[in-house]
A = this chain, B = another copy of it.
Amino acid sequence: MKTYIIVKYEMWSVTSPAGNMKDKTSKNNTVKLSDVAAQANVSVVTASRALRLPDLVTPATRAKVAAAVEALGYVPNPAAQALASARSKIVGVVIPSLTNQIFADLLRGVMDGLDDTDYTPQFVNTRYITTREEDLLRIFSTQRPAGMIVSGIDQTDAARKLLQKMNCPVVQVMEIGPDPIDMIVGCDQREAGRAAARHLIDKGYRRIGFLGARMDPRAQRRLAGYRDVLQAAQIAEDERLVQTTPKPSSYTTGGQLLSDLLARCPDIDAVFCNNDDVALGALFECQRRGISVPHQMGIVGFNDLDVVSCSVPTITSVRTFRYQTGLTAVQMILARLSKQPVAERSLDAGFELIARQSTDRLPRIGDWPSINQT
């Protein structure tokens, strides 16, 4: 222990006098702003301003400071910054899960959007537990984040209040809704659900099942869209056609769901799946059972993950823009932070139905059952 200290101090006295430039001048082995200031022959404040608000400083001093920073390898201490300014450089990102690919895409967008800024994303997952979301937000609020990105629009009142009290830009993502906390970017899940169901009808399918895992609020709204369309088309709305499970979505779950639905309704001719995991699982189940897709069974997925575009057959899906959403959310936050006027508080990221082989069946006369038959 003693030797330790001694070694440390010895190193000090060795490097400190000898070191001209390129020197960690502090005992903590950390270059601080005061070191930079000393090196540049200016006050600490000036050094700070030269870095933070360069416009308020002479080009000459700016250069001096820049040189000192370079020479000493100065990097600001975020903890000190946060403490002094009561604002951290952290952008909090609250998502329900990391298992789901779509959130990984979102995170990539956020990360990329934050690259080359001095902000840092910080991710947490709620595991779809609302009380956990509140706890996480409480923790975030102690960090005084620069901005917050939260998934979905189903925050509890407590969560909404916490977010508002953070006094920073907040973006809800993955969905749009009528009453954003602050800003929002995503797509209309219900409308997207409608598009999927409508596509199946257009392709001549009539006994259209719904396969859903986990059934979080977003999935619920897609299901609602499916119901909208089936009602509007005056196709028998049969609750038995809706097969869901609280289990997390996965390929295996998808196969299981289809099996269960087939057991109850052997006459279905198509399924709209909650998401692509379920859709691919359903496709595999069809292959196992020798059910021909798209002829005996139409399949539509959701999200348009990479995999559905190269399976055999390829799977029709509703493309959503997760990466772009993450990017946009960050841009909204950055814009607000730089006092720029934000064009829109609510941004519809849209969606796109990508028709593929899994529904590529021409409607034939025989496919059209009489209306309202069960």
Interface size on A, residues (CB 8 A): 48
Most buried by B among A29, A252, A311: A311
**Contacts of A222-269 to chain B: CB distance below 8 A:** 250-252, 255
* CA distance in complex: A88, B79 (Å): 8
**Contacts of A329-372 to chain B: CB distance below 8 A:** none
User: Which residues does chain B contribute within 8 Å of A121, judged by CB atoms?
Assistant: 123
Q: Which residue of B is nearest A143, CB measured? A: B78
Q: CB distance B98 to A306 under 8 Å? A: no
Q: Is A211 an interface residue (CB 8 A)?
A: no
Once A98-B111, A307-B251 are accepted as A-B contacts, the answer to whether A79 and B82 lie under 8 Å apart by CB is yes
User: Which residues does chain B contribute within 8 Å of A111, judged by CB atoms?
Assistant: 98, 124-125
Q: Is A77 an interface residue (CB 8 A)?
A: yes
Q: CB distance A252 to B306 under 8 Å? A: yes
Q: CB distance B142 to A78 under 8 Å? A: yes
**Contacts of A250-292 to chain B: CB distance below 8 A:** 250-252, 255, 280-281, 284, 287-288
Q: Which of B83, B124, B310 contacts A251 (CB 8 A)?
A: B310
Q: CB distance B307 to A307 under 8 Å? A: yes
User: Which residues does chain B contribute within 8 Å of A22, judged by CB atoms?
Assistant: none
Q: CB distance A310 to B252 under 8 Å? A: yes
Q: Which of B29, B98, B108, B312 contacts A99 (CB 8 A)?
A: B108
Q: Is A28 an interface residue (CB 8 A)?
A: yes
Once A111-B125, A251-B307, A307-B280 are accepted as A-B contacts, the answer to whether A77 and B142 lie under 8 Å apart by CB is yes
Give chain B nearest CB distance to A108 CB in angstroms.
5
User: Which residues does chain B contribute within 8 Å of A21, judged by CB atoms?
Assistant: none
Give chain B nearest CB distance to A180 CB in angstroms.
23
Q: Is A39 an interface residue (CB 8 A)?
A: no
Q: CB distance A252 to B309 under 8 Å? A: yes
Q: Is A15 an interface residue (CB 8 A)?
A: no
Q: CB distance B75 to A79 under 8 Å? A: no
User: Which residues does chain B contribute within 8 Å of A252, judged by CB atoms?
Assistant: 306, 309-310
Give chain B nearest CB distance to A94 CB in angstroms.
13
Q: CB distance A28 to B86 under 8 Å? A: yes
Chain A 106-146 interface mask (CB, 8 Å, partner B; 1/0): 01100100000000111111000000000000110111100
Given contacts A99-B108, A287-B312, 8 further A-B contacts (CB under 8 A): A77-B142, A79-B143, A98-B107, A111-B124, A250-B306, A251-B310, A251-B311, A281-B310
10 A-B pairs with the lowest CB-CB distances in the bound complex, closest first: A79-B82, A287-B312, A79-B83, A75-B142, A79-B79, A251-B310, A284-B312, A251-B307, A98-B108, A98-B104
